[in-house]
Structure 1
Amino acid sequence: MSAPPQCCCLQCVLPNYPDSLTESTLPGNHMEDQGRVFLKNNLHEIHIKRTCDERFSDFVQHGPSRTIHEEVDMVRAFYYSKLPEDCIYIFRRPKPWPGPELLTQLKDSGVFLVPSAHIESTTHWDPRKHPRNNSSTKPLTNWRLSTNLMERLLVSDLTLPQMKVYIVMKMIRKEFCKLLVGDRFGTFHLKLRCCVA
């Protein structure tokens, strides 16, 4: 199963599972025609909704985050200790920054896999802007790569001029770029670009 850029699919490896398994017997999973089983990205949301229903409360969703009672804000994620191919651009580009010490920390930071619908999923698909592709037909199996540990390390190492450039670029991204490309131009790209300035 293919996934959009900066996303992946999590295949479940079930030893000795019977052929009689279906999506109804595995509620948090999606079963392909070929019999492969993939973890759905709404698995945690189903659990949170059930818990909130039992306690007569509700939650508000902001991206991968769920806010309950305006007090609890949580993001359920899987940690992956290796950096996927999408995340190692920073090690290949010519750079005066970051230094070798920080690069070593970045290589060991890993990523989180968070539930998120991609910009080209069927819920946001616009035939005038994006051609339909196979990856957009199963948005519930797409997990987004979150590089927040890597980003924290980069931001904590910025100089004052770099931090000012970063803040101005975030404002430009929010006011102008988001209207054109949506969420495909993220803050991670900004952190990489402003560090060269």
Structure 2
Amino acid sequence: MTEVPGELQESILKGEAAPDFRDPGADVRFSELDLALVDALQAAPRAPWSRIGRALGVDATTAARRWERLRANGLAWVTAYDAAKSSTVAYVEVRCRPRALESVGTALADMPWVFSVDEATGDFDLLASVAAADLPALGRSVHGLIGGLDGVRSTRTRLGITLYSEGGDWRMRAMEPAGHAELSTPRTSRRTVYSAQMHHRP
């Protein structure tokens, strides 16, 4: 068995809902060690199991087995999405026709380049966070794909300019301080500036 968590037969899901592998009869509660394990993998997702186990005070096999249990029961998973360093990020407000909110929301959530969909109040019904390679691609996607959905009345796009924090920054904070020290790496305090430029991808 490999010691690299990211290589333990994990699928990197792009724009998909979390998989539901749960056994209806399984015990799906988190233990304190489970929470600390998730915290450790958030802090160092590519660390070998030996280092993860050392930070948690357990052996590598126990850490790997616990992660596999969480994964198999649909309690934890790995996901990936474009971020400000590699894409143009924007927030699209969507006004829906009467009784179309659920169908439009579902259609938005199914688009791989839409990484969050929230219900809103005020002039618009939904707020979608989206990513595109550049501004022209963003315009085509918003006007052609979102604007073309059945039930969409209108859209308004706000371009992201500065990233203060994002989902990948969130931490469980369940590990002991010594465990955090074991896995800590220097983090930059500089704000990330969103990009609106063309990116040459491999």
TM-score when scaled to structure 2? 0.20
Work out which structure has the larger RCO, using CA pairs closer than 8 Å and 6 or more positions apart in sequence: 2
TM-score using structure 1 length: 0.20
**Greater share of helix residues, 1 or 2?**
1
